[in-house]
Amino acid sequence: MPASLEFKQNSHLDPQLSDPGATASSVEKLTGHWVNTNPETRGIAECVIEPDGLDLIVTVRATGVADPIAWPPTRAAVFANMEEEAGQRTSALAVNFGFGFMKSETLIRVNKGVLVIVLFNSFLDDSGRSDYVTREFFYRAD
């Protein structure tokens, strides 16, 4: 790795970041159909993560009053995950959902076979609702 690389912390200089073999996207552990472990959730009921060329598309169905609410399929940004837990290293996804009245910055990762979705929801309307964060867990259904 060239010594002239800019950095703001030592991990920016981690040689693995320049090694395609070390950071190869292990997205197969992310792709598929995932169902919320909590049947009483008031949030995301299920999601599908599927490849689209080199990208990943995330499709969510969330809980609604009568029927589930389909969120617009949204492209994910893929990040090499420098964590290794139980010998696993799987990419993490960042997804920005836009709904007009609200936006949701989303982290998706897998931890020991469980999909973890963290939503940072920001309201853009004048409803007085607090921006809020949720974390939910999903099991593989396919």
Partner 1 sequence: MHFVQLYDRVETDPATTAALDTSPLPGIWVNSNPDTNGIARMAVSASDGSLFIQAYAIGPDGLIDWGKTELAIFASTPGARMAAGFTCRYDFGFAETVLQGMLMKGLLVLSQFHRFKDDSKRADYFLREYFALEHGRF
Contact segment (CB under 8 A) with partner 1 among 26-34, 51-59, 127-135 equals 127-135
| Nearer to partner 1 (CB atom), residue 53 or residue 130 | 130
Q: Give yes or no for a contact between 63 and 40, defined as CB atoms under 8 angstroms apart.
A: no
Return contacts of 90-95, CB within 8 angstroms, 24+ apart.
90/26, 90/27, 90/29, 90/30, 91/25, 91/26, 91/27, 91/30, 93/30, 93/49, 93/56, 93/58, 95/58
Q: How far is the CB of 48 from partner 1 (least distance, A)?
A: 16
Write out the two tokens for 37.
Answer: 């472990």
- 122 burial via Cβ count (<10 Å: 0-12, 13-18, 19+): exposed
State which of positions 66-125 bind partner 1 (CB under 8 A). Answer: 69, 71, 77-83, 91-92, 94, 99-102, 105, 107, 109, 118, 120-123, 125
State which of positions 28-67 bind partner 1 (CB under 8 A). Answer: 42-44, 62-65
Please give the residue ranges that form the binding site for partner 1 (CB under 8 A): 2, 5-14, 17-18, 20, 23, 42-44, 62-65, 69, 71, 77-83, 91-92, 94, 99-102, 105, 107, 109, 118, 120-123, 125-135
